[in-house]
A and B are shown apart, each in its own frame.
Chain A
């Protein structure tokens, strides 16, 4: 009976999150509170259990990266790079879009995609204003690029952070398995931008001259902090790459990096905490407790058993269903709650493969499906929601369907390319 009530409470909270009838943070906290009231969750289950509790590695990795981004933002480096890119592209609209999209994708892989779009969007609006270009296509292209680029690394997209922590995968595992396909997808995506946004590329010689006259160095606000931030960020990247050898979790690498940056900068707490999205962190905690309750009452174990029996040894079939199914569902609900729910199930499937590469590849199918599927609708990924919010605040509203008509094409094409990649890499030649 308790299990039925837990599933009902979980479903109700999930529906509230998906339909956005109330704020998603409120819905997740209601869901978590329901699990406590039902007597399934206590402090041990919620805070200290590795199987059912809040995944503090995820929370503190996000917190650390958000503090790092807050400090880097104070340097003005994103504004510098964007103006440098526009000048480098000689103001030609498509070239400007390509460079902005590449900057967004790379920064999303190295920082995280939500904060990246928060930093790149204002300067994109500025460049479009100065070049007389419609900003909406550029902003949509950046949101889509951030979700593709973020798929390349452990820290690039929140679903990857959750998968890495729950599956015990390293930073290098993500780079080795996902970065190659992300490079291919970015090349294809740039080609698609040329077609999808072809009406946005109007060239105005006079306006271009005014942009060429800008001095990108004026955008750097604190040169000393910029150098220090660069050194610390490089050290953090080295820490991520070497975290397995150093036996230190990525969350601690990020926190140490954040702490070092705070120590070497003269910033006050409101400044170095500026980009910390507390609602997102609380949302994650609520979700972890909700999913932990499902694990605690045995629902996940039973579902996992059913799925494992259904899949048997057919891991490519499971991988395909996971890739396309995750893409579909991530378009309907935010990919963060989706992946949080799916990781215990996928863990069961992977465990049934006894360490075979074919079974391990299910993690990459989940990551690619959730990350790339997030592009398919306006609410599929946090980066999309952020970009749409910034656009609206600046008088350029992007409707759900306007975003979705571009996003769904990009999602379908990128997933369709990822599918043979998974097959060729993990299944065609027996792993």
Chain B
């Protein structure tokens, strides 16, 4: 199966999209990440959900997650408040490595898609045809396809 057949339509955001809106979109659609596009519609990068969490959770807690015990529900509400007045650009890792994107061509094989995901630790890849975004493949969808292909042999 080719990437274009696995790809599903997926909402995209721009670099200057409000960070709170992007996070809410991810939550509402239960997406593992979002495709971030340039002004001309070409894919710029992927914003994984884990990157949103990296922005929200203080570094010292990421270094030692056991310190998170000192934060209650009210404190977690305050953390989410950090998204206010921020854009998607603020959430992206810095420095931005835009030379290598989790993007595959529509004709890519499933192994190529898996290789890009594994190499870039990305939960989804954008599928493009030229400069047009065809959709995206999530890691869940890819694994479902790979497992369904192997299950009859067991």
Contacts and interface: CB of A to CB of B under 8 A. Distances in A.
Contacts of A213: 72
Contacts of B61: 126
A126 B59 contact: no
B58 A129 contact: yes
A221 B66 contact: yes
Nearest to A392: B59
A126 B66 contact: no
B59 A394 contact: yes
A122 B64 contact: yes
B57 to A, nearest CB: 11
A221 B69 CA distance: 11
A175 interface: no
A365 B121 CA distance: 55
A130 B60 contact: no
Interface string B30-73: 00000000000000000000000000001111011011011110
B69 A218 contact: yes
A415 to B, nearest CB: 33
Interface in B51-99: 58-61, 63-64, 66-67, 69-72, 74-75
A214 B58 contact: no
A126 B75 contact: no
B60 A394 contact: yes
A395 B56 CA distance: 12
Most B CB contacts (10 A, CB to CB) among A121, A130, A221 go to A130
Interface in A84-128: 121-123, 125-126
A371 interface: no
Contacts of A121: 60
Given A129-B58, A393-B59, A395-B59, A219 B72 contact: no
A219 B69 contact: yes
Interface string A192-231: 0000000000000000001001100011010000000000
A142 interface: no
Contacts of B59: 393-395
A332 to B, nearest CB: 31
Nearest to A125: B60
B65 to A, nearest CB: 11
A48 B59 CA distance: 44
A122 B58 CA distance: 10
Nearest to A127: B70
Interface string A342-375: 0000000000000000000000000000000000
Contacts of A394: 58-60
A410 to B, nearest CB: 25
B75 A210 contact: yes
Of the four ranges (under 10, 10 to 19, 20 to 34, 35 or more), the interface on chain A belongs to 20 to 34
Contacts of A129: 58, 75
A221 to B, nearest CB: 6
Contacts of A210: 72, 74-75
A252 B49 CA distance: 50
Given A125-B58, A393-B59, A394-B59, A130 B70 contact: yes
B130 to A, nearest CB: 39
Nearest to B64: A122
A76 interface: yes
Contacts of A275: none
A129 to B, nearest CB: 7
A295 B72 CA distance: 60
B3 to A, nearest CB: 38
Most B CB contacts (10 A, CB to CB) among A121, A126, A393 go to A126
Nearest to B72: A210
Contacts of B67: 79, 122-123, 126, 219
A210 B73 CA distance: 11
Contact of B75 (A83, A123, A130, A390): A130
Contacts of A130: 70-71, 75
B53 to A, nearest CB: 15
Given A130-B75, A210-B75, A76 B60 contact: no
A122 B66 contact: no
Contacts of B75: 129-130, 210
Interface in A69-91: 76, 79, 83
A24 B121 CA distance: 34
25 contacts: A76-B66, A79-B66, A79-B67, A83-B70, A122-B63, A122-B64, A122-B67, A125-B60, A126-B58, A126-B61, A126-B67, A130-B70, A130-B71, A210-B72, A210-B74, A210-B75, A214-B70, A218-B69, A218-B70, A219-B67, A219-B69, A393-B59, A394-B58, A394-B60, A395-B58
- Leading 10 A-B pairs by shortest Cβ distance: A122-B60, A394-B59, A125-B60, A218-B69, A393-B59, A126-B67, A214-B70, A126-B70, A394-B60, A122-B64
Given A79-B66, A219-B70, 12 more contacts: A76-B66, A122-B63, A122-B67, A123-B67, A126-B60, A130-B70, A130-B71, A213-B72, A218-B69, A390-B60, A393-B59, A394-B60
Interface of B: 58-61, 63-64, 66-67, 69-72, 74-75
Interface of A: 76, 79, 83, 121-123, 125-126, 129-130, 210, 213-214, 218-219, 221, 390, 393-395
